[in-house]
Amino acid sequence: MNSFADVPAMIAACGASSGKVYLVGAGPGDPELLTLRAARLLAQAQAVVYDNLVGPEVLALIHPAAQRIYVGKERSRHTMAQEDINALLVRLAGEGLSVVRLKGGDPFIFGRGGEELQVLAAHGVPFEVVPGITAACGAASYAGIPLTHRDYAQSCLFVTGHLKEGGGEMDWAALARPHQTLAIYMGLSMLPSICVRLVESGLSPCMPAAAIEQGTLPGQRVIAATLSTLAAEVAAAGLRSPCLTVVGEVVRLRDQLAWFDAPAMQPRESNLAFTTGA
């Protein structure tokens, strides 16, 4: 961990007497999708505590004199335990610092932001929340897939694909509804079983479904297929986590509405037949 030798000087320089933590969403990847507030706070914060879903273009907006503290968080190998992150935030704020806690996407959508704030509140640390574009909204927008549409989906359900984490099986009956779009976060390793269970739970095997890798970034790749073919398509294309998976009739609209990623990554019927049949 960093030393804090320069903290008193920074406090004196800024005239800060009591610290504060800003829980900030970094958005889905494209740094242009940061909010104005997030960009301003990154330029002003004395310390930024961030994890691995935040890309280098966003980190470039941090003030050069600020402490940058990486606290990791890959699945099943947290670089820093959640309890240690909580303690770190309390300590930094207690030292009088203006601290940005930076999380990918939106901190209140599968970000454990609420848990960190509960610890801050218990310690009397002042805080604010700056929402970010959540991964589903970012990736779907750049993939040309409206999450709702009057003709196809009157609701959208955001879920995580971590079947075993957070306690309990997924609520398949809730997931397999008509006229609803499913946005599944981080579901790539579970993708084959999720697709099978959705069909077993009542969705058509022909239901359109897409996986989006590196959504909103220049390397974005989108595989649009169906529940029966998506897992094989994704494996054939070599997509890697984290991915955002979208299930629902709205995925069809990508044929008309794709605007961001290269045409080569827009599968057509012929491509689908080719890669699936191999």
Structure tokens at 128: 């604010």
- Of the candidate residues 7, 16, 123, 148, the single one contacting a second copy (CB under 8 A): 148
- Residue with Cβ nearer a second copy (50 or 127): 127
- Between CA 244 and CA 115 the distance in angstroms is 23
| Interaction of residue 147 with a second copy, rule CB under 8 A | yes
Per-residue contact string for residues 226-265; x = within reach of a second copy by CB under 8 A? ------------------------x--x--xx-xx-----
Sole window of 43-51, 63-71, 110-118, 195-203 interacting with a second copy (rule: CB under 8 A): 110-118
User: Do 21 and 89 touch, CB atoms closer than 8 A?
Assistant: yes
- Least distance from C-beta 180 to a second copy, angstroms? 7
Q: Which of 14, 40, 52, 240 binds a second copy (CB under 8 A)?
A: 40
Residue of 4, 71, 82, 10 lying closest to 45 (CA atoms):
10
Stretch that binds a second copy, among 30-38, 86-94, 195-203, 230-238 (CB under 8 A): 30-38
31 versus 55: smaller Cβ distance to a second copy: 31
Q: Which residues in the 55-84 window bind a second copy by CB under 8 A?
A: none
- Residue in 20, 30, 51, 255 annotated catalytic: 51
Q: Which long-range contacts (CB under 8 A, 24 or more apart) does 225-230 make?
A: 225/267, 225/272, 225/276, 227/195, 227/198, 227/199, 227/203, 228/195, 228/199, 229/272, 229/276, 230/191, 230/195
Piece in contact with a second copy (CB under 8 A), picked from 44-52, 70-78, 153-161, 262-270:
153-161
- Provide the 10 A C-beta neighbour count for residue 74: 12
Q: State phi, psi for 156 to the nearest 5 degrees.
A: -140, 130
Q: Establish whether 164 is a catalytic residue.
A: no
Instruction: Give the active site residue among 6, 30, 73, 103.
Output: 73
Helix axes 230-237, 269-277, angle to 10 degrees: 80
255 is catalytic: no
In terms of Cα–Cα distance, which of 183, 137, 136 is closest to 159? 183
Ranges within 178-207 binding a second copy (CB under 8 A) = 178-180
Active site amino acids:
51, 73
